[in-house]
Amino acid sequence: MTRTAAVPNVFEQGPNQYASIWSSAVEEELNLRLLDMAKRFHRVLQQQHSGSEQGKPKPSSGGASRLQQLMRRSGLPYYSDCELIMYQKKQTGEEGQGPRGRSIFLTLNSGLERSAEYRKDDLWIIGTVPELFVPNITGPGDRMARPFVLVARSCWHGPNNEGRFEVNLLCAVPANMRKKQQVYALRGPEATTELAMISALQSLKAVKLPLLPSLLQPPDTDQHAASSSMHDEPASSSQGSELQSEVACAVRHVVLQFSLNAEQAAVLQAMQPWFLSGSKACSPLCIIHGPFGTGKSMLLVAAIHLLLRLRNKDGPLKGCRVAVAAHTNAAVDRIMCGLLQSGQTDVLRVGPLRRIDRSLLEVSLHSTAGKRSEAAQELEAMLKEATSVSEQNILKDELARVKAGAERARKKRLKTAAVVGVTCCSAVLPVLDDQQFDVVFLDECSQMVEPLSLLPLARAGCRFAVLSGDPMQLPPLIAHPQQLTQRPGADPAHGLLRPVFVRLASMGHHVHLLRRQYRCHPQIAAISNSQFYGGRLLDGCSAADRAPLVRGLPTLLCLDVRGSQDYASGSHSASNRAEASAIAQVVRGLLGQQHSSEGEESGPMPLTPEMIGVICFHRAQVALVTSLLSGPCGPAAPGPDKNALSSTSADVTVATVDSYQGLEKPIIILSTAVSRVGAFVADPHRLNVALTRAKRHLILVGDAAVLQDTAPAFKAFLAAVRSRPGAYKHCHPGQPVPLASLLLP
């Protein structure tokens, strides 16, 4: 299977070529997702029809009902009793004449699910035979009676009380489609984001986006020189000279305010020409490569401070508005929280309330594409689900503000707010129609496909953009990236998997590398620095800054556990009970251990669950470790109150590598669950993320002999561990793992 949509570095033919190529890539992605569902569907069909002969008459309605039950057990939302209704309507003009229109409705008479299961822009595969296929009929017959299969998208957020909703066909209307007929349906993937991307791409042909030329063509070789000359040469007028001096002064103030290092300060200096008239030669793009722990989010907050500090000055950015966008809500919230904490109050966070950081609710505007769009209703539902008193108090306060009319006031303020935060997917929400922003800060732009990056840029109509990310961490998530290759002769890297960050860098746009990391102990950082960053990173914290939280616990530790790599029936996700058991014992041992309080000499303090994180490469291992931590303490669990320790250990965050991107913990325990060499665990992007989440202690639990041959980074980790006496421990499956056995003498 091959991907045919290859993406060039440069789009010499302009916006039409850009829109056409990327639209093809997104459409191909949708087709691959549908193909994946079709394979699952036909595997279930084979189970039902095993032993039957080809050409067997189509199943009766009872057979279709049994097929629905079988599909549902396999996790496929199949509907055996549906009706497709087509209404012809006439659009009347001034003289009562006009073109004929067509509305198509699908009614689900069986298998209806909760309304929350449905989404607007769900894809639906609809056919006139239960197997949802069109037989190859070459002989004579009644063509109007032949079966058909079509693909449609839902126009509504779900069926009404009668199980009916409107659909739009994504293919030609079959010639033999009747006004009303019995059909069968399979609900496919939601395509809201993909359809929004295609719509944004098509709009580029008609709407002028000031930033677009810089996205399509290499930078002018004179741009960097022109920008530098604006810093060094006197302006042509006294007014220009005064503004240039004010801009330089503002940069120095912000650098001092946020204690920026040299590489971070260089980013603000590169933005200076944006504030000056006559700076058309400078690049409107500022690209930041921010590896782990290099203060990227803080730098973005500082850059926004610079823009707001100068927004009242005459120049291109007078009265500028800023949009903050990212792939995830967490990334947007990090920047918005940073702005609030640093004194910026003219901010507004737009999006579904459930997904917004609770500390931002006071400056949030509830907006969602779902059915429940009333903020008060959403807050009341969230209040019932709150798990702590502090969360309940925050939600009660926000509910009181909303009932007092806060939402109406915030909608008015949306038109003037200096900074608005929104995810890329939510950038298409109707509440943001007609909103324009001069500068867009796009975080995580190495983690999403380029058409998704385009959504906030196109919606904002911006003139300048700050793009930040790390292409050495997790790439965009697309269908089967490893199983699919480009057509022969094409560069496999030049496709949908390549983010805009990488393409712009390959075009020659300047990339600012943040070199100094402030997160990890130098021993932890050294592995990723050498394996993934060519040794270019520097340590902004010392070993003393990241002293052990537990006396005698090594910074790097390997527990060599020779367990079995197991799979549940029909699953591709591995689990390893020996590793999971060892992890549960280590976690409980750590939570029962005393450690020295940093910066204090008053005595030991216990570790808390928030200080420990468990990262697993497989979801099945996440489930297994979570169940063991939630269960009763094993015999090796130390401490006088084992029940209390058990309930505490259940609060430790256990998640996949993908879920941990952007997060950090003082202690990280890493589980691969593998007992044989495999490509998934060896993936350098995923491995880089896994190895850079720990601030003070990184504990690897796994089969050392297998990991040694799996990836160079694992080999480097094991070499570092073995070079430090007492940091490598061999654990026998089924035997206790007391914490004392892991500590240095």
pLDDT value for 53: 44
Over pLDDT 90: what percentage of the chain?
A: 66
Question: How many residues can be counted in the chain?
Answer: 745
Query: Would the pLDDT of 75 be above 60?
Result: yes
Q: What is the pLDDT of residues 116-158, one digit of tens each?
A: 889 999 999 999 999 998 776 555 555 666 889 999 999 998 9
Total Cβ atoms within 10 A of residue 280: 10
Report how far residue 181's alpha carbon sits from residue 192's, in angstroms, rounded to the nearest whole number.
28
Averaged pLDDT score across all residues of the chain: 87
Three-state SS at 718: helix
Q: 480 or 467: which carries more pLDDT confidence?
A: 467
Three-state SS at 604: strand
Three-state SS at 532: helix
* Residue of 407, 417, 398 whose CA lies nearest to 373: 407
pLDDT value for 602: 39
Report how far residue 80's alpha carbon sits from residue 146's, in angstroms, rounded to the nearest whole number.
19
Q: What is the pLDDT of residues 370-398, one digit of tens each?
A: 444 588 888 999 999 888 899 999 999 99
Over pLDDT 70: what percentage of the chain?
A: 85
Put residue 92 in one of left, alpha, beta given phi > 0 → left and psi -120 to 50 → alpha.
beta
pLDDT value for 391: 92
pLDDT value for 205: 73
pLDDT value for 605: 59
CA distances from 510 to 53, 221, 615, 684 (A): 63, 11, 34, 24
Of the listed ranges 321-335, 498-512, 635-649, the least confidently predicted one is: 635-649
pLDDT value for 603: 41
pLDDT value for 635: 40
H or E element in which residue 169 lies: strand 164-169
pLDDT confidence band for 345 (50 / 70 / 90):
very high
Q: What is the pLDDT of residues 290-307, one digit of tens each?
A: 999 999 999 999 999 999
Total Cβ atoms within 10 A of residue 372: 14
pLDDT confidence band for 96 (50 / 70 / 90):
very low
CA Rg, the chain, in Å?
Answer: 29
Query: Would the pLDDT of 260 be above 60?
Result: yes
pLDDT value for 95: 44
Q: What is the pLDDT of residues 526-570, one digit of tens each?
A: 999 999 999 999 999 999 999 999 999 999 999 999 999 999 877
pLDDT value for 598: 46
